[in-house]
Structure 1
Amino acid sequence: MKVTLEGLKSMHDTTDKRYMELPFTRNSRMKLANDVLEGTTLKKLATVKEEALAILKPTREELKKVASVTDRVIKHISHALNSQDIPVLEIEPQGSTGIKQTQLAGDFDVDVFIILDRGLIKGKGSKKAIRSFNKELFTGYINNLLIPTSREALKAKKVTFSYAEHPYLTITVDGIKFDLVFCYQVTKEDIKRSGIYSAMDRTPLHSIFVRDHLDINQKDDVRLMKAFFKAHHVYGDRSACGRMGFIGYATELLIFHFGTLENLLVNFDMLCKVPIDYHGRPDSLVARNNRFSNDYLIITDPTDPSRNVGSSIDKRAVLHARKQVNEFLKEPNVDFFITRSIPSPPNMDPHFQVVTFNNSQDVHYTIVRDKLYKLGNNISTSLERETTGEERFGTLTHEVVFPRKNNMVALAFHVSNPIISDSYVHRGPKSTIAPERIRGFLDKHPNAQVDSDDYYYIIVKREETTFTRAASRLIQELLDIDGLTTRSGSPEIPIVISPAEHLGRQAIHVLKTMVIPHANERA
């Protein structure tokens, strides 16, 4: 496949038999920007969009470079795979820098998908057996063919074998990062009938949908919305606000659904209230789908009615984005689209505390992220209340923040009661009822007394009275993430109120300004 600038730019005009039109109609409750915004605001929005796109849209020179290097990468990969008679049906660039063409300026990350004939997995048995087969097959292709080709023919500067859900190879050629990914060719009908065969099989269908259904202006609106999310740190799997922010495909579907950036912005408040479905189903039916029951945002996948593209987008990211959208509509300004570093003011408030870690990157950063959220959850479960149910340190909220490089990571907490008394009252049964409960309580606590309300009680001494010490102990006991070592404070007390590390102060700022203000919001 020859990748050219003209070819990439014209891809939105092509069609593909792997995708068919959907029984989709826009929600009747959708507001139109032209109806709800004043003329002066609409005019200001148009000016701001033009100014922002001048900064955010890739130049012709950037596009030419990406197309040229991508063509060279595909040529050498194709030669290596064909030399071994591997049943490759197609090799093409997917994602925003590939056939979608919704990338931002300076985005030199290209996903090259190697689409295989699914005859390879014929007779391999269950889904679990196929996953095991895929891991072995793709790992072999990577080690035996892609890595030697990357190093010898392409002279790649960096060659990294990664495995999250799916083995893939990351290489850097002429300053452009490529993810080389295997998948199987499937159609929408295949997915309905028997599902997917590898974690990445849907991606080419997603790219085709965007290529065929968004015009040039809508692709520019996608760029603007992506930039907006990035500027407010609610984009992708490195989102500072929430475990996962908005993703590219979800952003593209939102622009397609609402038609324009302006329409999306004026309807942003309804995103978490009304499902977006591309399969002609009533809202109530979609909302009752058990697969979506725990999802804050529902944006069904046009290629798979059982999949919610919005399932991974964290409620925190949605709520913070909504606040920023409302601020932007009050006073449109190009600054809302420009990404700047998260502020790192000093902290003296003991209700906010943080631990920072050195990260040797022994495991994929998403695994580190997920395990740190789990650690935060375990600390909250252990410290919010006593084992007997009484309040201890009160409500705990935590957030995980990565820097641009993954060599550090921070886990920040907001704690309701950072210092507590050295004892608490544990109340038992009322002295006038349930004799069997009274006997059980007195057997455990023979020195129990009766209070003025006729309840038995005891005074329990606490071993730890500060959140700092209690949480530090749990971190020492529970931390089991390869390559992660505490950096802040001391080895015994790694949690601090006033972190010296820039990242630690940033993490506290995220909690203070992006998370806690929305803690009690439902929708």
Structure 2
Amino acid sequence: MPSISEEAVQVIEEARELLTPSPAERERVASALRRAVERLSDALSDMGVEAIVEPVGSATRGTWLPGSVDLDLFILLPPETPGERLGCIAIEAASRAFGNCEVRYSSHPYARSRFEGLWVEVVPAYLVGSPSEIISPVDRTPFHSRFLSEKIDEELAGDVRLLKAFMKSLGVYGAEIAVEGFSGYLCELLVIRYSGFVGVLLDAPGWREPQTLYLPEAPPVGGYQPAPLIFPDPVDPRRNAAAAVGRTQFHRFRAACSQFLRRPSVQFFRGFVASVDRDRARRVVEERGTRFILAVFSGVSFPPDVAWGQLKSLRARVERELRETGFGVLDSSVWYSDRGYGALVVELTISELPPAEKRRGPPVGSPGEAPFLEKHLSARDTLGGPFIQGDRWFVLKRRRWTSAIDLFKHIVEVARPSSLRGARVSVYTDLGEILSLREEDLVRFLLSFILRREPFLEPS
């Protein structure tokens, strides 16, 4: 295990101070949480609904990052409550309690409201006696919250904030499909496992996939799906609390921990500023000699998790078909904004192909010989052959696709998933036009995609 320098310790202590909520913020959050619970309880009572309101999440343990806190309230309902009623109860109760409500979706609908300057998420769940009795996935959350509240004291809460800020600055914080990273719950489990932030920092560089970590009271029970990181959920050891962590984010976190130990900087906690140097990006692309194709979808109205998932699925199909056709794909990526914009970008080393391609046929004298010859001898798309090389037949055929741009547009049109079908799509191939788009967040994503350098390699 690597050691930690005095400089790194000083940086961590500086960050700890920066990440400690002020007494005024703590009081504001505690007061808002108390009143929100009271209002929601009163609303449920007025509705004649028998339920318990239980606050969960970082606001109950002091593990939120300053200036970034939501209130999470669970409405715990009797198990006999019909599943289709859960969302309706949460939405009506939130509307009555807070006077406003946005409908969100998870395993079932839930509500999001503004109250005293904070976002309040109102989630319906079933009141069950143990994790083994859960009916819906969110029923585990209150058990998670109670477990963490027993384990995390004021000092460890500061370490949780350090780890969350560190991960957030790297872009690996969050279990949603857009990030494929470390959930807040997993961050807190890691801090408990290593008795603080420094323990995680020192050990992570040595992790090797599949890495298994656990708490003494919840050793692995086996049967987990393959994953780079396995951390049995202490509330339900059959579940991997790290299942959402993708390979790239797992290794990015490891590398960033190593880099921090070599070159400590408070930027690892404050966040890295992405480059917006368009001229540098143009020079880099010119030196690489590659070609870009960008599809921008506007007017996407689906929930972010759905849009992200379907964009990633479309990306996989586009990249696979381009490669199988013979075009050289250097890399590809997707992006989505909550404002209803999505994007798919591909960088190509080969974007044009000649009309002819050589196709391999069956061995000479094999059962497939006659059908092969019959099919290709008089076919309109045969440009040469059939002929023999070695012990096999070959034929030269006319390609269906000679332009990567044409194939890209075709796939985007015919394979567009449901979340993107109603969206307007624009395809760009000129780098100057791409980098001149008005959506600033999209341009930042594209510049990051082009430059490809991990931000933690050059803390400023």
Instruction: Name the TM-score class by shorter chain.
Output: 0.7 to 0.9
Asked if 1:398 is matched to 2:332, the reply is yes
Indicate yes or no: 2:173 matched with 1:207: no
Length-normalised TM-score, structure 1: 0.76
Aligned-residue sequence identity (percent) comes to 23
Q: CA deviation at 1:338?
A: 1.2
Structure 2 residue 292 is the aligned partner of structure 1 residue 355: no
The alpha carbon displacement at 1:435 in A equals: 2.3
Larger deviation: 105-114 or 455-464?
455-464
Letter paired with 2:266 = V
**Which of 295, 304, 327 pairs up with 2:259?**
327
The alpha-carbon deviation at position 355 of structure 1 amounts to 2.4
With structure 2 as the length reference, what TM-score do the two structures score? Answer: 0.86
Q: Secondary structure at the match of 2:360?
A: strand
Instruction: Tell me by how many angstroms 1:515 deviates.
Output: 9.1
* 1:200 counterpart SS class: helix
Q: Separation in 2 of the partners of 1:70 and 1:45?
A: 36
Candidates 406, 412, 415, aligned match of 1:478: 415
Q: Give RMSD over aligned pairs.
A: 2.8
Contact 1:243 1:400 in 2 (8 A): no
The residue identity in structure 1 corresponding to 2:135 is Y
Question: Could you say which residue in structure 1 is the equivalent of 2:70?
Answer: 109
Match of 1:100 among 37, 54, 61: 61
- Checking the alignment, whether the CA contact within 8 Å between 2:218 and 2:233 is kept in structure 1 is no
Looking at structure 2, the residues matched to 109 and 323 of structure 1 have their Cα atoms a distance apart, in angstroms, of 30
SS of 1:428's partner is strand
Q: Which runs of 5+ in 1 are unaligned?
A: 1-30, 122-132, 387-391, 518-523
Report the equivalent of 1:216. Answer: 154
Q: Is the 8 A contact 2:297 2:420 kept in 1?
A: no
What per-residue deviation string (whole Å, max 9, x for no partner) do you get for residues 31-78 of structure 1? Answer: 4xxxx415xx1x222211121122222211112112222222221111
Using the alignment, how far apart are the partners of 1:205 and 1:66 within structure 2? 22
> Which residue, 375, 382, 399 being the options, matches 1:444?
375
Gaps in structure 2 of 5+ consecutive residues: 379-384, 456-460
Q: Does the alignment pair 1:37 with 2:3?
A: yes
Cα distance, 1:358 vs structure 2: 2.0
Aligned CA distance change for structure 1 residues 267 and 345 (closer, same or farther; 3 Å): same
Q: 1:143 and 1:37, CA in 2 relative to 1: closer, same or farther beyond 3 A?
A: closer
Residue matched to 2:346: 413
1:146 aligns with 2:57: no
Secondary structure of residue in 2 paired with 1:436: coil
2:122 counterpart letter in structure 1: L
Q: Which residue of 2 aligns with 1:10?
A: none
Q: CA deviation at 1:416?
A: 4.8
How far is 1:342 from its partner? 3.2
How far apart are the structure 2 equivalents of 1:322 and 1:467? 36
Q: Secondary structure at the match of 1:267?
A: helix
Task: Kindly report which structure 2 residues correspond to 1:131-210, keeping only aligned pairs within 5 A, or say none.
Answer: 133-134=82-83, 136-151=84-99, 156=100, 159-187=101-129, 190-192=130-132, 194=133, 196-210=134-148
Identify the residue that residue 458 of structure 2 maps to in structure 1.
Answer: none
Per-residue deviation, 1:272: 2.9
| Cα distance in 1 for residues equivalent to 2:446 and 2:76 | 44
Matched residue of 2:413: which SS?
Answer: helix
Match of 2:38 in 1: 75
Q: 1:87 is matched with which residue?
A: 50
Partner of 1:385: 324
Q: 1:174-220, CA deviations, whole angstroms, 9 ceiling, x for partnerless residues? A: 22011011112234xx333x4x2122111111111211112322221
Q: Which moved more, 1:255-264 or 1:302-311?
A: 255-264
> Are the equivalent residues in 2 in contact too, given 1:328–1:336 (CA < 8 A)?
yes
* Kept after mapping to 2: 8 A contact 1:425/1:460: yes
Of residues 427, 433, 436 in structure 1, which corresponds to 2:360? 427
Alignment check: 8 A CA contact 2:107 2:138 kept = no
SS in structure 2 of the partner of residue 357 of structure 1 = strand
- Helix, strand or coil at the partner of 1:305: strand
